[in-house]
C-alpha cells in the first residue's frame, strides 16, 4: 500500500502526464547519480480497451514491455515504462497493440518529446537537436519525416491561384531542388528534385492530389518574372525571401546529401503545416 507522500507524488506526475483511466503511475525511480527519472505506468485490473480498427471494446489478450523517452525533468532524462496491452479482435481477425494517450503507435518517444524535437528542428540543424536532446539525429529525423508527411496529407490547395518558384542546389555543385510557393499564404507548397519542366508536372500532380486545380493558377512568378510584376503587381521579393531561408537551411546543415531530408526540412520550416501536437513553449529550460 502506498504511503500518503508517495501517493500524492504519483498523482502529481499523473496529472502532469495527462494520464486518464485506466492508466495510472505505479512506481517512480529517481537517481541523481545517473541523472535519470524512470516512471512506471500500469493499467487497472480488468481494464478493457478499444480496437483501433473497428471500435470494439475488448479485454486484454497479453502485454509487451515498452519504454518511451520523455521530456527531461529539469536536467534529468525521463523515461516512461509500461506493459502495453494487446487485444485479439475477432471482428478484425488480428491481434494489435492498444493506443496510449502519451505516444503514437510504434514510437519510442512520447508526444511531448516529439513536439519539442519538431520545435527545435525548425530553428537549428538536426545534429544540434541531437546534442540538446541527447538523441541520435537519424531517429530525430524519422520523427520529423513522420509528422511532415502526415501533415502534408491534410494540406488543402483548392484556393491556390498565384505561385512562385525557387531553384536551389541541395549542396555545392550538386543537383537542384525546385520549390513552389503560394504567394497568398506565403508558404512552400511543394518541393521536388530537378529544375526542368518535369518539376512543373510533378507540382501539378501534387496540386491536384490536394484538391487544387491547374486552371485556377492565375499567375506564376519566377526569377524571370519582371513582366508579371508590371501586370499583376507580384514581385519576386517573396520568392527571394524564401530562397534566403532555404539557403540558410542548407548552410546550417552544411549541405544535405540526402535530398529527401532537405525537402522535408523545407516543408517543416516553410510549409506552415499543422502537426496537431501538444504545445511545448518554454520547455527548452529542461535541457542543458
87-127 per-position pLDDT tens digit? 999 999 999 999 999 999 999 999 999 999 999 999 898 88
Q: How far is CA 151 from CA 145, 262, 268, in A?
A: 10, 17, 10
pTM of the full structure:
0.85
Burial state string for 53-81 with b = 16 or more CB within 10 A and e = fewer than 16: eeeeebebeeeeebebbbbbeeeebbbbb
State the residue for C-alpha cell 540526402.
Answer: 258
Residues listed for the chain: 288
The pLDDT of residue 153 is 96
pLDDT of residue 281: 58
Give residue-wise pLDDT tens across range 36-77.
999 999 999 999 999 999 999 999 999 999 999 999 998 899
Which 3 state secondary structure label does DSSP give 15? Answer: helix
What Rg do the C-alpha atoms of the chain give, in angstroms? 23
Between these two residues, 239 and 216, which has the higher pLDDT value? Answer: 216
Q: Which three cell numbers stand for residue 120?
A: 527545435
pLDDT for 225 = 41
pLDDT of residue 238: 61
- Cell output for 158: 483548392
- DSSP structure class, residue 214: G
The pLDDT > 70 percentage for the chain reads 82
Amino acid at each position: 500500500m502506498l504511503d500518503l507522500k508517495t501517493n500524492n507524488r504519483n498523482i502529481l506526475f499523473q496529472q502532469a502526464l495527462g494520464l486518464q483511466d485506466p492508466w495510472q503511475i505505479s512506481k517512480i525511480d529517481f537517481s541523481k547519480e545517473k541523472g535519470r527519472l524512470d516512471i512506471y505506468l500500469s493499467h487497472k485490473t480488468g481494464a478493457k480497451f478499444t480496437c483501433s480498427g473497428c471500435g470494439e471494446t475488448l479485454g486484454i489478450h497479453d502485454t509487451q514491455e515498452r519504454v518511451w523517452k520523455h521530456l527531461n525533468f529539469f536536467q534529468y532524462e525521463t523515461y516512461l515504462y509500461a506493459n502495453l496491452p494487446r487485444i485479439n479482435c475477432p471482428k478484425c481477425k488480428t491481434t494489435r497493440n492498444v493506443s496510449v494517450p502519451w505516444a503514437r503507435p510504434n514510437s519510442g518517444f512520447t508526444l511531448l518529446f516529439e513536439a519539442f524535437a519538431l520545435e527545435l528542428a525548425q530553428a537549428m540543424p538536426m545534429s544540434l537537436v541531437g546534442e540538446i536532446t541527447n538523441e541520435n539525429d537519424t531517429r530525430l529525423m524519422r520523427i520529423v519525416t513522420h509528422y511532415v508527411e502526415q501533415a502534408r496529407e491534410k494540406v488543402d490547395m483548392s484556393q491556390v491561384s498565384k505561385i512562385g518558384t525557387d531553384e536551389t542546389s541541395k549542396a555545392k555543385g550538386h543537383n537542384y531542388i525546385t520549390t513552389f510557393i503560394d504567394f497568398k499564404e506565403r508558404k512552400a507548397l511543394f518541393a521536388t528534385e530537378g529544375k526542368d519542366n518535369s518539376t512543373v508536372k510533378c507540382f501539378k500532380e501534387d496540386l491536384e492530389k490536394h484538391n487544387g486545380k491547374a486552371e485556377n493558377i492565375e499567375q506564376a512568378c519566377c526569377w524571370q518574372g519582371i513582366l508579371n510584376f508590371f501586370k499583376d503587381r507580384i514581385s519576386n521579393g517573396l520568392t527571394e525571401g524564401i530562397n534566403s531561408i532555404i539557403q540558410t537551411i542548407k548552410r546550417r546543415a552544411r549541405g544535405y546529401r540526402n535530398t529527401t531530408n532537405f525537402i522535408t526540412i523545407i516543408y517543416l520550416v516553410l510549409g506552415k503545416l499543422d502537426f496537431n501536437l501538444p504545445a511545448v513553449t518554454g520547455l527548452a529550460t529542461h535541457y542543458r
